[in-house]
Chains A and B, each alone.
Chain A
């Protein structure tokens, strides 16, 4: 068994957390900026508003517990090897921030750059993959094309036999990609934002947006009205619901996305493997559990639950790629709510209502973008206009047709 493990083992021990994380303040009557949604994006945005722009009179309003939505439910994969220049721009910005985030936040976020393999299972997959590698390199994103033998060197347990339904023809490899511990990232941002004076207000659901003369003036919440100079939506799967309060329609559909985790296992899987063609993405987390994502349930859903056949299908695909997983056990499955746009790229920028900003539509890509979007969204809010890296992700693109079509381009979606 030892021979199966060429790369450093995922760590068995978890780090010590700080003793102090955040206050539990009462909401003030008004803030310069109110961020709706206390997930990873909202918390990172609050942090960069305070850190980069000196705007500290900020509240993050969270309807449940901090980072309890998709931030708590994702499979923690971080990479920047997207096809289009616009996507590579913001995700690579995020990846560079990830590389310094542990120090920046002084929090052990367990960022592990163990690399990501995106497998190709058909000749067209190969063309698309090579295309992405070449695009990545021009954009300064580290990327390699690996043949099946090289895939096996990086991840010895991947089945590269030709005798499967969709054999592995090769893979793209981004060595700087990896995983981090999602909760700790959120807590790190929350703690740092709190320390800079941001009020993190939990169990405070926004029930309405106050708009007067085409300008946002505050929010109504389950804990009373809160004034705001600017309001920044960061509500992921619930964005449509919140935006509707301002009469704003968005090209978003919210879908369940399921994932699952195994028991703790001795190290077998040294990297991250994703296969878009057969809908599997899997890594072995720090404690030793296999963390896997499944395909999106096709229907709209806010229930944080999906259907069982999606899980069964995912397992079939997983065992095609990793026969040694056969007798591992699923301990837990869960679902998040992902808000998906028609081109599978986010919307980050102006809303059409003065002082109201949009950050949504991240689909399955939200976690990995967290530092990058926090940085750019904070810039957008502070300056009232988009940062160059999020400018392409405007709402306007759906009118002009200038989509950033990560769907159509057959790039990996997760």
Chain B
């Protein structure tokens, strides 16, 4: 049970949050201009590093706000 620092509410139990996977994957400006392969990358391909990972969380059982942090996927240390 990680302790996740919500920027709005402070540190809270992991069970209050919803995980959102890799951060910084923007919705394409013009999906219609993408090839099927490029669109597939947006839809399905996400980084899966062993180590620091910038990821999204939503404090669903609290303020309902989304935020990003960097967590080490091996140790679960939140490093940024």
Which residues of chain A have a CB within 8 Å of any CB of chain B? 238, 240-241, 249-254, 298-303, 305, 307-309, 339, 341-342, 398-400
Are B44 and A251 in contact, with the CB atoms below 8 A? yes
A250 to B49, CA, bound (A): 11
Cβ-neighbour of A400 out of B18, B36, B46 (below 8 A) = B36
A-B contact pairs, 15 of them (CB 8 A): A241-B49, A241-B50, A253-B46, A254-B48, A254-B73, A298-B19, A299-B19, A300-B21, A300-B48, A300-B53, A305-B76, A308-B1, A309-B1, A309-B15, A342-B43
Q: Which 10 A-B pairs have the closest CB atoms?
A: A240-B48, A251-B44, A298-B19, A399-B40, A342-B44, A302-B50, A398-B44, A307-B1, A299-B19, A302-B74
Are B2 and A303 in contact, with the CB atoms below 8 A? no
- Chain A residues near B14 (CB-CB < 8 A): 307, 309
- Chain B residues near A250 (CB-CB < 8 A): 45, 48
- Chain A residues near B73 (CB-CB < 8 A): 254, 299-303
A-B contact sample (12 more), CB < 8 A, given A299-B73, A301-B76, A342-B44: A240-B49, A240-B50, A250-B48, A251-B44, A300-B48, A300-B53, A302-B73, A303-B73, A303-B76, A309-B1, A339-B48, A398-B43
Closest residue of A by beta carbon distance from B41:
A249
A204 to B50, CA, bound (A): 18
- Smallest CB separation, A195 vs chain B (Å): 34
- Smallest CB separation, B70 vs chain A (Å): 12
Cβ-neighbour of A253 out of B36, B48, B50 (below 8 A) = B48
- Chain A residues near B75 (CB-CB < 8 A): 303
- Chain B residues near A400 (CB-CB < 8 A): 36
- Smallest CB separation, B14 vs chain A (Å): 6
- Chain A residues near B49 (CB-CB < 8 A): 240-241
